């Protein structure tokens, strides 16, 4: 018996506003990208840590997709949990087979609260 596990948990920032669409069967799906940052030390302590950003495509289906599309904006930090999936397609021009791996999220939540933006006049009232 072999162990099979396909779970992903990431925290990242939305790199663009989520895009909601309906499938031909009228199912809502939202797609967006997360930038996940990681700090790496060189081990010597002489150089400052460097940051590596990994960009992940994410899909959410159903009512959760509709909710996210109304609330999420580019730059917000969020937690996503789900599984890895792969999509395959042929390029119409060349016929080459292409693929990409993405996260099919089953749950999500914002990790930071961003209050309403203040107008310049409100900022000056401080």
pLDDT at residue 1, as a whole number: 74
Q: Which two tokens stand for residue 64?
A: 């959760």
pLDDT at residue 113, as a whole number: 54
Whether 27 is covered by a domain: the verdict is yes
| 102 within 8 A of 58, measured Cβ to Cβ | yes
pLDDT at residue 7, as a whole number: 95
Cα of 8 vs its chain's centroid, Å: 12
pLDDT at residue 122, as a whole number: 44
Whether 20 is covered by a domain: the verdict is yes
Domain count, the chain: 1
Predicted confidence (pLDDT) per residue in 15-28, tens digit: 999 999 999 999 99
Whether 22 is covered by a domain: the verdict is yes
Whether 13 is covered by a domain: the verdict is yes
Distance CA 4, CA 101 (A): 18
pLDDT at residue 117, as a whole number: 52
Query: Which one-letter DSSP state was computed for residue 44?
Result: S
User: Beta-carbon neighbour count of residue 76 at 10 Å?
Assistant: 17
Give the domain CATH number at 18: 2.40.50.140
Whether 2 is covered by a domain: the verdict is no
Domain residue limits at 75: 8-124
User: Which ranges of the chain have pLDDT less than 50?
Assistant: 115-116, 118-119, 122-126
pLDDT at residue 125, as a whole number: 45
User: Beta-carbon neighbour count of residue 110 at 10 Å?
Assistant: 14
List CB contacts of 77: < 8 A, sequence separation 6 or more: 11, 12, 13, 110, 111, 112
pLDDT at residue 55, as a whole number: 96
pLDDT at residue 114, as a whole number: 54
Whether 1 is covered by a domain: the verdict is no
Whether 39 is covered by a domain: the verdict is yes
Whether 3 is covered by a domain: the verdict is no
């Amino acid at each position: 018996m072999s162990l099979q596990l396909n779970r992903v948990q990431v925290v990242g920032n939305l790199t663009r506003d989520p895009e909601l669409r309906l499938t031909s069967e009228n199912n809502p799906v939202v797609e967006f990208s997360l930038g996940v940052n990681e700090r790496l030390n060189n081990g010597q302590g002489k150089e400052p840590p460097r940051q590596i950003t990994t960009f992940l495509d994410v899909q959410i289906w159903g009512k959760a997709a509709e909710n996210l599309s109304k609330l999420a904006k580019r730059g917000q930090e969020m937690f996503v949990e789900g599984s890895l999936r792969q999509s395959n397609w042929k390029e119409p021009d060349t016929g080459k087979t292409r693929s990409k791996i993405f996260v099919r999220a089953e749950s999500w939540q914002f990790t930071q609260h961003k209050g309403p933006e203040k107008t310049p006049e409100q900022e000056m009232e401080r």
